A and B are shown apart, each in its own frame.
Chain A
Amino acid sequence: MADLLQRLYENTGFSHLDWRMLAMWVVVGVLLYLAVYRKFEPLLLVPIAFGAMLANLPTEGIINKPASVLRSPVNGEVVFAVVQEGDPVRLNAVERVMPTTVGDLDQEILSRLLNGEAVEGFGARSLLFIVRPDTTNETDAIAQTSLRKSDILVWAEADGRVVSVDVAIGERVFKGEPLAELHSEHSGGLFHYIQLGVILEIFPPLIFLGVGALTDFGPLIANPRVLLLGAAAQFGVFGTFIGAQLFGFSAQASGAIGIIGGADGPTSIFLANSLAPELLAPIAVSAYSYMALVPVLQPPIMRLLTTEKERRIRMKSLRPVSRIEKLIFAVIVTITCVLLVPPASPLIGMLMFGNFLRECKVVDRLSKAAQNELINIITIFLGSSVGITMTGDRFLRAETLGIMVLGVLAFCLATGAGVIMAKVMNAVSKQKINPLIGSAGVSAVPMAARVSQVEGQKADPGNFLLMHAMGPNVAGVIGTALVAGFFLTVFTSGH
């Protein structure tokens, strides 16, 4: 009887709960509260929060990968093979972040894993191979073993059985070369397939297509010098990049964290996925949370950096911009940006493609599809895919807290830099700019522009800054995509 109850309990999800999951339920609760009751970016926070809730429940068949060929993660040499043909391999019932190098494990745990034993704290996931990368350093050698700290651990990626082992110890392998083939009776879970849109960098550019179709670049074309405000706000990205380096993040991770200052969710996800995929969840949550908090974060900085007189500056009405000008602008921005920063092509190309659909006025159906159905569907997939990566042991880390702190720093720096740039332009130009529109240089379209409008009206109720602020606002989108392209150029050798 007791045995039966014990088995029953083990088969329920309760046996897989741990404190990290419970803590994440609180995080999910906060995100849902902000989204549903405070209406802070609900379109994104609701899917993210719900995805996070699923990630922190002992779900089955929702995120698992299908069994397939296990490939080498690096160019190098196989130094250890733990499995043979026919051996069973297992995944943890609940997703865990596993150590990636030998240096992340202590010797006792390592020897138990190499013997195929389950180790407490590591779950049941099987260690299959150890591969020594070509870039390894002999000073990494671990005493009394043939292993080095930088050797890469290759874990099972699915529940099932080893069908074939394709490499032997001492054999040289290239990145992506098959190591073994696994078989499972289960196909991959729903979110495994949806997440491919993030991993393969499909969703962010498609979101940009919709954003382009929704954006009117008219105010920017009518007053092109406000592009400089969008550029200045990118100082937030670079300032935070320095901050992240000081926090001890790698250069790639620092770039991915810094882009939070661009206040552009899809770009943050795009860059994080390329440079620091392990930080995707905290970066995306930080970017979207702070975008939602723009009306809270920006006004104090705007008031601090401007005088009452400056906040009252009224700007000249913008001239109407013709359709042909908007079309030429879309083409010029695409050509210029792609020629100068090829890695930014997926973002800039799709942004301007969407805008061209909107402005050419001959493909209304396509434009409306990009503005509504497409962007809505992708938003659901993107948000929930990001949320599903927010597992407790990936999210509840000191580095997540660091990223949240750096996210605030990024927004504050970007806001301040935009306002200061507007003041500098006023010092050298006769045609005055209200410095409050400088803060809209952080992307966060159109929230940041609305903040400029509200703050401007507090100083002068008859002053309408909204359309003026939309210029730097959309310039910020282009600027952030350029910075993302720059970081990709610097930190990767291309795709």
Chain B
Amino acid sequence: MSYIGNIASVDTVTNTESPELFGIVVIGFLFVMVVLALIAAVTAIFGAFFVKKAAADLVKVSRNLEKTAESTKSIAETNSQMIAARDDKETAEVEDPEVAAVISAAVYTMLKDRPHRIVSIRPGGPGWAQEGRRQIFSSHRVR
């Protein structure tokens, strides 16, 4: 505490050569403005680069999606012919191009850029409701 008091006054006393007030204010304020403007400019430049890269990536992804959707559509058509013989209702579901696109997008999201090809889309199992009931029943052991 006393250390603070002593050193404080000493620094104030010895540091007598202070630049003039106006100069400090003008130069100081301009200096801060220029430094932050410089950082803003640099940030904007590399930001623009990343925005451009993100846009290019988006185009690439949409092209991939289109390709995948097309191949899926053809597969879905082939499958649907095969499945149609077994179950008309299920075939109707897979034939829907929107469902095919959704499944393709989900597959792409999971696998990202890893090469993949969807060869068939088939309804999975007897249904979610039945699976849910199975899980509930199997979760409790009857004593």
Contact = CB atoms under 8 A, between A and B. Distances in A.
B49 to A, nearest CB: 9
Nearest to B42: A332
A242 B32 contact: no
Interface residues of A, number: 72
Contacts of A389: 1, 4
B4 A73 contact: no
A333 interface: yes
Contacts of B33: 228, 231-232
9 contacts: A100-B6, A225-B40, A231-B35, A238-B29, A252-B11, A329-B43, A337-B35, A483-B32, A486-B32
B46 A227 contact: no
A251 B13 CA distance: 11
Contacts of A319: 51
**A-side interface mostly:** helix
B51 A228 contact: no
A278 B13 CA distance: 13
Contacts of A97: 5
**B-side interface mostly:** helix
Contact of A227 (B2, B18, B24, B39): B39
Interface string B1-44: 11111111111111110110100110011011101111111111
Contacts of B54: 322
B14 A479 contact: no
B67 to A, nearest CB: 25
A154 interface: yes
Given A100-B10, A227-B36, A486-B32, 10 more contacts: A91-B2, A195-B1, A220-B43, A227-B43, A230-B36, A238-B28, A252-B12, A388-B1, A487-B28, A492-B15
A63 B41 CA distance: 49
B80 to A, nearest CB: 39
B31 A486 contact: yes
A263 to B, nearest CB: 15
A277 interface: yes
B17 to A, nearest CB: 10
Contact of B43 (A276, A332, A483): A332
Contacts of B50: 321-322, 324-325
A267 to B, nearest CB: 13
A150 B47 CA distance: 56
A142 interface: no
Contact of A221 (B4, B36, B43): B43
Given A100-B10, A234-B29, A278-B8, A336 B40 contact: no
B11 to A, nearest CB: 7
B138 to A, nearest CB: 37
A227 B5 CA distance: 38
Interface string A29-64: 000000000000000000000000000000000010
A152 B10 contact: yes
Interface string A212-233: 0000000011101101101110
A252 B25 CA distance: 13
B13 to A, nearest CB: 6
Listed residue (A275, A277, A325, A389) with the most chain B CB atoms within 10 angstroms of its CB: A277
B74 to A, nearest CB: 35
B32 A74 contact: no
Listed residue (B1, B3, B14, B29) with the most chain A CB atoms within 10 angstroms of its CB: B1
Interface string A465-495: 0000000000100110011001100111000
Contacts of B15: 252, 491-492
Listed residue (B11, B19, B32) with the most chain A CB atoms within 10 angstroms of its CB: B32
B16 A135 contact: yes
Contacts of A27: none
A221 B11 contact: no
